[in-house]
Amino acid sequence: MEPYIAAAIQMTSTPGIQSNLAQAEQLIAEAVSRGASLVGLPENFAFMGPEQDKITKAETIATYAETFLLEAARRHSITLLGGGFPAPTGDGKLFNTALLVAPTGEVIGRYRKLHLFDVNLPDGNTYRESDTVVSGTEVVLADGGRLGKIGLSVCYDLRFPELYRQLALRGAEVIVVPSAFTAYTGKDHWRPLLRARAIENTCYVIAPAQVGEHYARRQTYGHAMILDPWGNTLADAGDGGEGIALAPINPERLAQVRTQLPVLDHFRLM
């Protein structure tokens, strides 16, 4: 692992695939111009609309999203994370899929979201991701070469520390958490959970995010963030609209924290 700059992108995606991808391209180009080697796009970066529309357009969304990621990674010579898009399973349902793509355009990590967002919130909103999405079955740790070992997750996974401990024990140095966190839960839980995952696993955490109003009553919290292995916030894109959280990833800092607090060596429960 070598030092590099990472970028967590913040978007306000809508049901318009082409406009979403145009927004993503603009933000990627800006991040690259500022020195980023690893760029992360949030969950639902290519499409954020009603569930029925997502099912109907899933094959189109998946094709556009994956093609965009492969071409953008090659065009900008970066490692690019596509935080989540619907990929058909072949039996009428979907996987919420995140891709990590090398600068060559090679897919080095394909993760299918493990934990599905089925909740009833006090603000009156109900979410049933499992109505349309099937859970993945694999923990995915990608070899990012000089960027280190990168553990993949998506949004609601953040509430399940067991996943991140598995990633850390398998060698993760950086954890990505691309999300579309609701505005209601985000105000109380987003930052504490990100800090906890960074601290307890002594990993860098890169968390691209959706922000603002997308359709109907769907609102997201924003605050795309990058945290260091001590839990310090290195960058925060706020909640004012699209933007970029940009920060250095330093292997010496990682080694320092893991020497001072060797929690991964002390772990006893398997």
Which residues are catalytically annotated?
A: 43, 113, 155
The position carrying tokens 């609701």 is: 182
Q: How many CB atoms lie within 10 A of CB 195?
A: 17
Q: What are the C-alpha distances in Å from 230 to residues 4, 30, 96, 219, 261?
A: 18, 28, 30, 30, 9
Q: In angstroms, rounded to a whole number, what is the distance separating the alpha carbons of residues 31 and 8? A: 9
Q: In angstroms, rounded to a whole number, what is the distance separating the alpha carbons of residues 81 and 69? A: 8
- The interaxial angle of helices 161-169 and 183-201, nearest 10 deg, is 30
What are φ and ψ of residue 173, in 5° steps?
A: -110, -30
The answer to whether 120 and 144 have CB atoms below 8 angstroms apart is no
